[in-house]
A and B are shown apart, each in its own frame.
Chain A
Amino acid sequence: MDEALIRARGLRKSYGAFEAVRGIDLAVRAGEAFGFLGPNGAGKSSTMRMIGAVSPVTAGELRVLGMDPATEGPAIRARLGVCPQDDTLDMELSVRENLTVYGRYFGLSRAECAERADELLAFVALTEKAKEKVEELSGGMKRRLTIARSLVSRPDLLLLDEPTTGLDPQARHLLWDKLFRLKQSGVTLVITTHYMDEAEQLCDRLVVMDNGVIVAEGSPAQLIRDHSTREVTELRFGPEVMSEDHDALAEKVTDLADRVEVLPDRLLLYTDDGEHAVAHVHERGLEPAAVLVRRSTLEDVFLKLTGRTLVD
């Protein structure tokens, strides 16, 4: 079972002096949903464009569907579906024409294109909009159309670069549902996202990227196990407690948790037994205004690995 659809070793990408991807290794297997998680500028999109055979590899090795993107780009792209970060739909064409015209680029016959277009419009629930101009669609509808377009050639591998960025919750859930059904039908998905819930919902396995390198790898559950505690106790103090005092408060509870994080509005105690920590907090005379014990999430892992500092 070494038939990886994507295999990278020491993969690098530079734009001039700027190194966007600084040596990553990965293998994506057939049928899985693989995620790239990371803040903006982590190198996710650069990696996706190299996999999509539209961006030359600077150094290292990359094989996609067993082929070399440098020499067999068109053959690779013939079997890929790409849903880019920005919609590249054609505003001059109708919704349905965007699908039929695109199918022709893959060398499909007109009859096949027509049949696929009708199937896909039904799949993404846009049949009623078939004749409308793309301009008149909402953001969510455009994303759905972009995904439909990326499926027109029945790809083996679907690349989705931030598929739900900018969508409202209803539109996101609808898209997740569609992507889940695609995965069930055997399409291999590669997804970049900076939404933790999206990664947890969709990805069997993911890598966390930061600054052009992979900082962690595994299933969502495994990542939480490896990089966080089972539970997190959040202590919020009232407005009379200044945030400067948080450091002093943290001192008092530091032995109650594997790790204590001090935020302006609350303390986070990373521990395997949240309730146990809560009991001791009260014993030590601390009086938080609100206490919350919750399970660790991928977001905790993400923030621990990539930091809380804003990256632009």
Chain B
Amino acid sequence: MSVALENTLRQYDYWATVYRRTWKGSLVTSFLMPLLYLAAMGIGLGSFVDDSATSADALGGVSYLQFLAPGLLAATAMQIGVFESTYPVMGGIKWHKTFFGMIATPLRPADVMLGQLGFIAFRIATTSVVFVGVIAAFGGLVSPLGLLSLPVAVLVGMALAAPVAAIATRLTTDAGFALIFRFGVIPMFLFSGAFFPVSQLPDEVEWLAYLSPLWHAVELSRDLSLGEVQALPALVNLAYLLLWFAVGTWAAIRGLTGRLIS
């Protein structure tokens, strides 16, 4: 384990250099998009929702912005996690082949994957910090516990990034990514309770939302932000997200090993 840690840290300079080169390009997607979403949905749409007679009941007595913000944080983290583990992972194998260069050193495929996932976690964390700051500035945080929605955001991002990386290591063309976005990311983004409670969904599909890792993150993040967190449901949410992350990481390491060592 200490070897894996040391080898992963040996990639720090690489990722730091990459980040210095690319952070400006990621500014718009990372920071501006969440801001626009919060403004449009939280404030624009929110003013309608808050005026509606039935909403106070469904939202549990908080403003729509306060309801939406923690869920939107989790949903954005999920999107970054998925995106960063698709093209960058395939590129290292197929286009730039940089991973082949990396494993011609003492690094092993597992170390390379852990380095990649570490960088994704960093990308999610930096975006989420800004996001939480914006939420607080808009008055979206009810409880100081809401700051804990930050690690939850990183966790849900990684709970998706790891399995998507596992898929990316097994694909030979990038056509599959379009399917992941269309049939995975977008429905999950819309229907995992970030924008409205999943109890509003038809009963036949409501259970699907519970399977989604994002729903668990939205619940946990929102409960923290509203200061209504309870131990047992929180542990279930956490455990479910950790399970996705752990199984995904294991599969991603195996997938990358299969592609690089043959």
Contact = CB atoms under 8 A, between A and B. Distances in A.
A95 to B, nearest CB: 13
Nearest to B21: A92
B262 A55 contact: yes
A104 B104 contact: no
B103 A54 contact: yes
Contacts of A92: 18, 21-22, 96
A90 interface: yes
B102 A91 contact: no
A59 interface: no
Interface string B79-123: 000000000000000001110111111111000000000000000
A7 interface: no
Contacts of A80: 104
Interface string A68-80: 0000011101101
B110 to A, nearest CB: 11
B21 A74 contact: no
Contacts of A52: 104
B53 interface: no
B6 to A, nearest CB: 8
Interface stretch (B9-17, B54-62, B138-146, B216-224): B9-17
Contacts of B102: 105
Contacts of A55: 261-262
Contacts of B22: 92
A84 B104 contact: yes
B99 to A, nearest CB: 8
B21 A102 contact: no
Contacts of A97: 17
A101 to B, nearest CB: 5
B260 interface: yes
A105 B107 contact: yes
A84 B100 contact: yes
A196 B244 CA distance: 54
Contact of A90 (B96, B105, B106, B261): B96
A101 B97 contact: no
A107 B106 contact: yes
Contact of A77 (B14, B97, B106): B106
A121 to B, nearest CB: 17
B107 to A, nearest CB: 5
A54 B11 contact: no
Contacts of A75: 106
A110 B17 CA distance: 13
B260 A54 contact: yes
Nearest to A105: B105
A88 interface: yes
A113 to B, nearest CB: 8
A56 to B, nearest CB: 7
B96 A104 contact: no
A233 interface: no
A90 B13 contact: no
Q: Which of B3, B21, B101 has the most CB of A within 10 A?
A: B101
B101 A84 contact: yes
Interface in A1-37: 15
B36 to A, nearest CB: 28
Contact of B108 (A15, A73, A84, A106): A73
B106 A104 contact: no
Nearest to B107: A105
Contact of B104 (A54, A91, A93): A54
Contacts of B11: 104-105
B112 to A, nearest CB: 10
Given A54-B261, A100-B13, A101-B17, A78 B106 contact: yes
Contacts of A101: 13-14, 17
B262 A104 contact: no
A89 B105 contact: no
Contact of B13 (A56, A78, A104, A106): A104
Interface string A184-225: 000000000000000000000000000000000000000000
A97 B98 CA distance: 14
A132 interface: no
B41 to A, nearest CB: 35
Contacts of B17: 93, 97, 101
Given A77-B106, A88-B100, 19 more contacts: A54-B261, A77-B105, A78-B106, A80-B104, A82-B104, A86-B100, A88-B97, A88-B101, A90-B101, A92-B22, A93-B14, A93-B17, A97-B17, A100-B13, A101-B13, A101-B17, A102-B105, A106-B105, A107-B106
Q: Which 5 A-B pairs have the closest CB atoms?
A: A88-B101, A105-B105, A82-B104, A74-B106, A88-B97
